[in-house]
Structures are given as structure tokens and as C-alpha cells.
Structure 1
């Protein structure tokens, strides 16, 4: 067998955009419906300490607005965020992919291929500008794929 070709995802106009947190798939979590996984993930930065801010983020019209609002409110972020963020991403992705069977099918169809978020601006969740980022979103998706 030859080398396994990675799957790169990031842009709305390219295959596998559904793997991003910006894809237009609502996610129900703890009784609330979030417009996208990005809304849910960003809102978690303020729970349980600031449910008012979490609700503000949940109600924003676009995932980019949710990301930007959470960044502007970083002083109010839960103090343990950087200890729990990867585990929260795992929970967000599991909710998204189990609530949308077509996404679960798409994820499983990738087999054992590496999944890489091709973000040039995020070297934690994505591959980063030089491709040497941590790719934590891709890793979370591969963990979920193994679990499913």
C-alpha cells in the first residue's frame, strides 16, 4: 500500500467544508439550539460563569461574529479554558456529527486518511501558515471518527 493522502478542509467552496465549525449545521446542546458548531464552541468559553455572554454569542447571526465576540470578551472567559478547550471541542463535534447523519457518513467515508484543517491563520486548531501547526481540529475529528 502506498502513502495515505490527507484530506484538507477549510474553505466554503471546497470539499469537506462540513468538517469546519462554520458549516451551517445547527447543533442542540444542553437544551439550546446553536446555529453552528462555532457558536456552540465559542459560547462554552463563558459557561457556567457568564450565561448571559454565552446567550449573546448563541444569538449572533454568523459564526465569524461568534468568534469575534468571544475574542472581544476574552477577559470574561472561564479561567480554566485552556485546560478544557480540546475536551469541549470533542463534545461539540460529537454533538454535531451525531445529530446530522449525513455528516457522520461523510466523516466515516474518509477511512483512515489524515484530516487537516488547512487554516493558514490558526496554528493551534489548524495547520498554520507553514503547515506545522498542531491541527487540533483535525485530530479531534479523527478521534471522533475512531469512536463512531
Structure 2
């Protein structure tokens, strides 16, 4: 059975990029995954000056609105790198917070689906035909965490 998530206040809300879990990426602290993701759109672009403004946004909703401003030019390789940028941020979030890492691991092998009614790339869209890349990233991170735990268990066993 699939697990659907979307809003921070709902079950599995910690899977949302808007959840209040700050991350440290290369020595910079970001209030949420959404802040980081939206800012990365402008690295090396003509509109790079927006990055500190996104970084300082009071809420993830504000960061998202700034990053989605169609009058700003995003970096030229954005379509090629955006999924990897998201993966890095989501992985960091779940490696940083053991409480939400436990929630992610407890989903077992269930399909994770961002139940966004409007996003057909990161979510499933209103008709559930979307690509669900956020769900796919979460499932990938879940597997990575399992593999890290297995390596740790083997090392502990070998040490004993």
C-alpha cells in the first residue's frame, strides 16, 4: 500500500521539503530543504544575487515563491541537475535527524508518493499520473540509510 504525504501538518509531514528541519550543506545552514533547493536554481546565473534573499526567507513558502519567480533566469544546467540537488538535500535532512530517519525506515518497502495536486514532476498531480520524483528520492534515501546501517552492523560485528 502506498504512503501519500504532502502537508507538513499531516501524517508523514516530515517528508515534505517544507518541514522545519534545517540542513547544513558545505558549511551553510539552510532553514529547510525548500530554501536550499530554491536557492540552487540561481548558482552561477545572472540572478545569483537572489540566493541570500532566498536563504533569509522567513518561511519555506516565501523561499519557494522567490525561487519560482518567472522573471528571474535560472542556471543554464538546472534541468539536468535539479533532481541531484534535491537528492543531496533530502539525504542530508534524513541523515541529520534520527527521529525522522526512523519514520522513513519504518515505511518498509512501501511506495512513497508526494500527493501534490499541482506538481507532476515532484509529485503525483491531481490525477496521480505525475512522475513523483520526490517520492523516488525518499525511497532511494531510505535504501541508502539501510545500506549505511548494514555497513555499520558489519563493522561492529567484525570489531567484536
Which protein shows a greater Rg? 2
Structure 1: gaps (5+ residues): none
Are residues 1:64 and 2:61 paired?
yes
Q: 2:95 aligns with which of 93, 98, 101?
A: 98
Equivalence for 1:140: 137
- Residue 111 of structure 1: how far off its partner (Å): 0.5
Inter-CA distance 140–74: structure 2 relative to 1 (3 Å threshold):
farther
Find runs of 4+ consecutive structure 1 residues off by over 3 angstroms. Answer: 48-51
C-alpha RMSD of the superposition: 1.3
Equivalence for 2:106: 109
Structure 2: gaps (5+ residues): 146-160
Query: What TM-score results when the alignment is normalised by the length of structure 2?
Result: 0.85
Distance 2:71 2:132 in 1: 22
Q: 1:85 aligns with which of 69, 82, 85?
A: 82
Distance 1:47 1:11 in 2: 28
Distance 1:74 1:85 in 2: 19
**What's the CA shift string for 1:82-132, capped at 9, x where partnerless?**
000011111010111111111111111100000000000101100101011
Inter-CA distance 88–142: structure 2 relative to 1 (3 Å threshold):
same
Distance 1:75 1:59 in 2: 18
- Residue 37 of structure 1: how far off its partner (Å): 0.7
Distance 1:69 1:82 in 2: 18
